[in-house]
Structure 1
Amino acid sequence: MSITSTAPTPPLHAVSLRQDAGVIGLVGLAHMISHFSQLLLAPLFPWLKEEFSVSYAELGFLMTIFFVVSCAVQALSGFVVDRFGPRPILFAGLSLLGLAALGYAVSTSYWMMAAFAVLAGIGNGVFHPVDYTLINRKVSAPRLGHAYSVHGITGSLGWALAPALVVTLTFAYSWRVALAAAGVLAFAVLAVLVLHRDKLTIKIVPPVQGAPAADSSLGFLKIPAVWMCFAFFFCYAIVLSVVQAFAPEAARQLHKVPLGLVAMCLTIYMVCSAGGMVLGGFLASDPARCERVVGAGFGLAAVVALLLALGSFPAWMVPVLFGVMGFASGIAGPSRDLLVKRSTPDNASGRVYGVVYAGLDIGQAISPLIFGVMMDHGQFRGVLLGLALMQGVLIASAFNVRRVRRTALAPAPGTVAG
């Protein structure tokens, strides 16, 4: 049976555009802060390296700590979300991210930074189970593609905002002021969500007695497509980690890019990625082509990475190429999320997204250890070639999800759709 029949079914009654837009906007705002918080430290590596007298590999280990903790929390938080609902979990996550940013700002040693990276990882781990549960349960079916698009756009904007804000404030004041401002922003967004908390409430559906494995607490783990999605996000995370932490600096070394343009590379990548997701939201309206959209997007991104590794370009051209790579990757975003939705049994959104997106955290935890060492040894071309290789692997992973999708288990009879 096709996995389409096992996806969580949004409410069948008419839902107004205003109601859908309210949910999508609030979830997107929270998602922006999650991604914003993931990228607070990487743009500050040159300053932190000098402040704490550490290597790039040691700074990369801070990211590893963050994502290892986030991975563990993400896999567990999916069960908590399905049991207690997403709203209180979302508020707790935002609070921890705000506290962690303020903690970074007052840190006086590398190990203090590491401790607050643990706190930030706990806060970050709740977002994907929370966000996709809210979207799949509260947004009407005709607007799901656009909901995924907005969700991805706000994430990319969060990534774009982080280097733009913290680098600017660091140049103007100090890295401590920059990180304190990031904490204030997280709490400001939390206040907005608390004011509109009624839009984030869902009805908890109790489990069905005697339901088969696909609807039990752990039965979804028997669905092969769930694990293919996990593998896809693991590879996707390595791509993200390289782009965020190392590719701009590698390109600077290879193409003699001025330091002021390096932070622009990442910001331009993320802004263009958000633009690509707008187009990707329309392309995702046809589920039958989502694998082809993912393949085309990451195929173009891999070509750009190869050009950066092997070509020779003037400094001004490097941010442009990062923009093209970001736009191509962004087009694939909504179709990527649709692949996961089609692998999700009824009433298991939190659990499935928690496990699948744990692959994202594991990849981002491992990647800095590998590519940070490559950077320390001056293998800048190898970093960009590795980026292109992983983008190529993503194409094969997307089509493998399609290949195994039909082996999913059918939902339990009488299961109440979310």
Structure 2
Amino acid sequence: MIRSASQGMREGRPLSSSQAPLNVVGEEAQSRPGSGQPAGTTQLLLLVSLAHLISHVYILALPPLFPFLRDRLQVGFVELGLALTVFNVVSAVAQAPIGFLVDRIGARRVLAAGLGLGGLALLSIGLVGTYPWLLFGAALTGLANAAFHPADYALLSAGIPKTQLGRAFSLHTFAGYLGTAIAPAVLIGLALLGGPGLALGVVGLAGVLLVGLILPMRVPAAQDGADARRRPAGSPTAAGGSIVTPAIVSLTVFFTLLSFSTGAIQNFSVAALVGGYGITLAQANAVLTAFLMLSAFGVLVGGFLADRTRRHGDVAAVAFALTALLTLLVAVADLGPVVLMAVMGAAGFLSGVIAPSRDMMVQAAAPPGGSGRVFGIVSTGFNIGGALGPLLFGWILDHEAPRWVFGAAVGFMVLTVVVALRDRWLAQRNSGAGTRGG
């Protein structure tokens, strides 16, 4: 027999994500006739995924325009690179506090604010056209970027049935990868048509217009504040207990290591391949494109795997161990361009497979009503890796050791596998201790 939501509330148990109503607070949950999921689930997934796509375009809005901005602002690439540093630092500092804000005022409002702020910041950079304002606008865009992961994952965790959550996470991540893939072509094309101001203006306006779809969408009641009222007064999150558990710290380390290894390939593989493998720039870009495109399709496959197993740490460990082996082959062997593209494409596919399982691991560690702050905390690992990784891999290239870009990436992949297996072992040990104690 299926228990009613009100019965579950009277018994003091938090609602699961599949039970949470997909509507505003105070309204009754609506379901499609003959459907086992709340009405509005598809709309929620599509809009949140579209917001994630736009957020990745925001992230890559400035780098493709650097040649245009250098001439317009009369500055060098070092000064332009400082804007990216400002973006990452602000995003890293703001991400965890915004995660708490998500759980306090609602993910829908925070997501809309992030979209609007990021869009207006890019619009203003295009309109003002001065270097100081570029830095200020980059800071605002970094603040906006800090809203997306906590808000997106909180909405999906509360609004998507658990049996479909892995696939939902995979579609959300795929949309982000797609945004990364299309951003350079879109921005450079617009800049060639009307200059960098037009390119930034169009991207910014797209985000602002999307706010008009996000604000009125149906959202889980838990994200509008009712979740706190439903939880028992003595629960950790209701009582303001610490959210920084050993599991959350371990996952933050996991995300940081992931950022180091994938960032090495995404940002430095082209330079390393051209400098140490005797291939042309066009061939090196084709290798990177194969890695990125197959990563996106690996994410979709990973979503189906994540919904068919609870051993998400094992999936992540096995897939990334195989990724490490393929990357090690690139580091030590002399491969022709075609074989190199095939090997890196396979490595990209496997690295994409782990993404939904990675997100399910975070969701499993989050307390009821705490998805926003947990994803906010662990996502700072991406910013830590994004800030420190370029220094390491740039140093490797400056010392004329291009193969060590892939070698160091392998080292970080191995550490990532160790962390995933360690978390799995600890979970099994704690489960066994709990069973014996019961």
Structure 2 residue 311 is matched with structure 1 residue 304:
no
The code of the aligned residue for 2:217 comes to R
Once residues 308 and 14 of structure 2 are traced to their aligned partners in structure 1, the CA distance between those partners, rounded to angstroms, is 15
Once residues 171 and 256 of structure 1 are traced to their aligned partners in structure 2, the CA distance between those partners, rounded to angstroms, is 32
SS of aligned partner of 1:220 = coil
Q: Which has the larger radius of gyration?
A: 2
Aligned counterparts, 1:9-408, within 5 A: 9-12=16-19, 15-16=36-37, 19-43=40-64, 54=76, 60-105=81-126, 111-169=132-190, 177-194=198-215, 197-199=217-219, 202-204=223-225, 205-206=227-228, 210-213=233-236, 215-221=238-244, 223-260=245-282, 263-315=285-337, 318-405=340-427
Shift of 1:138: 1.0
Q: Greater relative contact order (Cα 8 A, min sep 6): structure 1 or 2? A: 1
Once residues 386 and 112 of structure 1 are traced to their aligned partners in structure 2, the CA distance between those partners, rounded to angstroms, is 36
**2:9 matched to which residue of 1?**
none
The code of the aligned residue for 2:101 comes to V
Select between 100-109 and 286-295 the one with higher mean Cα deviation: 100-109
TM-score w.r.t. the length of structure 2 is: 0.80
Give identity over the alignment, percent: 31
The code of the aligned residue for 2:386 comes to Q
Shift of 1:16: 3.5
Q: How many residues align?
A: 400
Once residues 14 and 378 of structure 2 are traced to their aligned partners in structure 1, the CA distance between those partners, rounded to angstroms, is 15
Spell out, residue by residue over 1:153-199, the C-alpha distance to the aligned partner (whole angstroms, 9 max, x if none): 112112212233334555676555544443243334334434x5234
Once residues 372 and 129 of structure 2 are traced to their aligned partners in structure 1, the CA distance between those partners, rounded to angstroms, is 37
Q: Determine if contact 1:60/1:369 at 8 Å carries over to the other structure.
A: no
Once residues 374 and 107 of structure 1 are traced to their aligned partners in structure 2, the CA distance between those partners, rounded to angstroms, is 37
Spell out, residue by residue over 1:63-94, the C-alpha distance to the aligned partner (whole angstroms, 9 max, x if none): 33222211221100111111111111111101
Distance 1:215 1:358, change over 3 A: farther
The code of the aligned residue for 2:303 comes to G
**1:413 matched to which residue of 2?**
none
SS of aligned partner of 1:293 = helix
Once residues 8 and 49 of structure 1 are traced to their aligned partners in structure 2, the CA distance between those partners, rounded to angstroms, is 53
Once residues 324 and 285 of structure 2 are traced to their aligned partners in structure 1, the CA distance between those partners, rounded to angstroms, is 21
Q: Determine if contact 1:61/1:368 at 8 Å carries over to the other structure.
A: no
Distance 1:191 1:379, change over 3 A: farther
Structure 2 runs not aligned, ≥5 long: 1-12, 21-34, 432-438
Spell out, residue by residue over 1:34-65, the C-alpha distance to the aligned partner (whole angstroms, 9 max, x if none): 22222334455666678766456x65544332
Spell out, residue by residue over 1:234-260, the C-alpha distance to the aligned partner (whole angstroms, 9 max, x if none): 111222332332222322333344444
Select between 318-327 and 255-264 the one with higher mean Cα deviation: 255-264
Structure 1 runs not aligned, ≥5 long: 1-5, 409-418
Distance 1:48 1:265, change over 3 A: farther
Q: Determine if contact 1:215/1:345 at 8 Å carries over to the other structure.
A: no
Q: Determine if contact 1:24/1:147 at 8 Å carries over to the other structure.
A: yes
TM-score w.r.t. the length of structure 1 is: 0.83
The code of the aligned residue for 2:328 comes to L
RMSD over aligned Cα atoms: 3.1
Distance 1:407 1:21, change over 3 A: same
Select between 70-79 and 247-256 the one with higher mean Cα deviation: 247-256
Once residues 336 and 192 of structure 2 are traced to their aligned partners in structure 1, the CA distance between those partners, rounded to angstroms, is 25
Q: Determine if contact 1:269/1:327 at 8 Å carries over to the other structure.
A: yes
The code of the aligned residue for 2:358 comes to R
Spell out, residue by residue over 1:361-417, the C-alpha distance to the aligned partner (whole angstroms, 9 max, x if none): 222122223223434444422222222221221111111222334659xxxxxxxxx
Q: Determine if contact 2:53/2:178 at 8 Å carries over to the other structure.
A: yes
Once residues 227 and 399 of structure 1 are traced to their aligned partners in structure 2, the CA distance between those partners, rounded to angstroms, is 15
Distance 1:396 1:39, change over 3 A: farther
Shift of 1:229: 0.7
